[in-house]
Amino acid sequence: MRGIASITAEVVCFMRALEGRRSPSERVLDDPYAEWFLGPILKAALAGTKLSGELGMMAERLSPGLTAFIVTRHRFMDDCLARALAQPGIEQVVLLGAGYDTRAYRFAPALGSIPVFEVDHPATSARKASIIADHRNKLPAVDVRVVEIDFLKDSLTERLRAHGFKKGARTFFVWEGVSMYLSRAAVEANFHTLSELAQAGSELVMDFWFLLDSPDMRATAHRLSPHLLHFLGEPVTFGIHPDDVPGFLGRNGLELLSLATASELESRYIRDGRHVYPANYVVHAAIGARS
């Protein structure tokens, strides 16, 4: 897996592109660049899809609510970033495990000269950079710094600093779709690294997965669905219940600002009756003491 670009990053990009096929009144987010990063199979599937489409319904049958979670998660993080950029103080944005994230371009007017560090494995970063280069004339000007890293070998601090990251500056971190593939120790180690890198009061948005413990068939199906990711080489390895998050963050130098469960994401963003995958949720936190 580590020698090729992330498959799940492309699937997530497909879900964002699929959302753009919905009517404006039902659409949770609009990512006009997402389609660029799809390979031939998913690009053909998207072309044959109308609104939610047959493939979208198939995805819902395989893992009910997952597509809705992906897009509501992305929207929640977008909203947190938009609020942060609307206030003075943010000096840099870091996308950890950036995949095919297009926030740098979608938020270009709000970012202005603020640099965006896109951190990911070289294989995924290289594929994204090639696609961006092919579409450069269609993109707004923005300071994007591609930070290639092998998380098993390289120092995040050293790789960021090599690309002009300002240690001790007020930073907004996005860590999307990554924590569930790590160990608890690795998640905690990253928290400590962020605390060392950024000014107190910097912000982090991220998502977590937890094991549903209801005895019904729906919960059983949700417990089984993460195992499908083993076949893609990206198994789910870490989970934490929402009730345990404030203490978990606090022990690692972060302060919980807000937490949105599946039902809260559904209530806030869904307007067409879709349900959000119940085993995931999103968190907005402050790093260290807020200034």
Evaluate if residue 103 carries a pLDDT over 70: yes
Q: Count the domains in the chain.
A: 1
Q: How far apart are CA 240 and CA 280, in angstroms?
A: 10
Residues 226-241: what's their mean pLDDT? 65
CATH number at residue 161: 3.40.50.150
Which two three-digit tokens encode residue 175? Answer: 């860590």
Evaluate if residue 74 carries a pLDDT over 60: yes
Domain-located, residue 274: yes
- Residue 148 CA neighbour count, 13 Å, CB half: 11
Query: 155 is in which domain, residue-wise?
Result: 64-287
Q: For 165-216, what is each residue's pLDDT tens digit?
A: 999 999 999 999 888 888 899 999 999 999 999 999 999 999 999 987 655 5
Which strand (E) or helix (H) includes residue 124?
A: helix 122-134
Domain-located, residue 204: yes
Domain-located, residue 30: no
CA terminus-to-terminus distance, the chain:
41
pTM: 0.89
Evaluate if residue 13 carries a pLDDT over 70: yes
Domain-located, residue 49: no
Of the candidate ranges 36-45, 230-239, 278-287, the one whose mean pLDDT is the lowest: 230-239
Instruction: Tell me which residue of 22, 138, 4 sits closest to 75, measured CA to CA.
Output: 22
Q: Cα 186 to the chain's mean position, in Å?
A: 17
| Predicted confidence band of residue 63 (pLDDT cuts 50, 70, 90) | low
Evaluate if residue 217 carries a pLDDT over 60: no
For the chain, percent of residues with pLDDT exceeding 70:
85
Domain-located, residue 12: no
Domain-located, residue 81: yes
Domain-located, residue 186: yes
Domain-located, residue 96: yes
pLDDT at position 211, please?
83
Residues 48-63: what's their mean pLDDT? 55
Q: For 114-126, what is each residue's pLDDT tens digit?
A: 999 999 999 999 9
| Predicted confidence band of residue 218 (pLDDT cuts 50, 70, 90) | low
Burial track 37-58 (b if 16+ CB lie within 10 A, e otherwise): bbeeebeebbeebeebbeebee
Helix (H, G, I), strand (E, B) or coil at 208: strand
Residue 280 pairs with which residues in a beta bridge? 209
Count each helix (H run) and each strand (E run) in the chain, helices first: 12, 7
Q: How far apart are CA 163 and CA 69, in angstroms?
A: 33
Q: For 135-150, what is each residue's pLDDT tens digit?
A: 999 999 999 999 999 8
Q: For 30-46, what is each residue's pLDDT tens digit?
A: 999 999 999 998 888 88
- Bridge-based pairing of strands 116-120 and 171-175 is unpaired
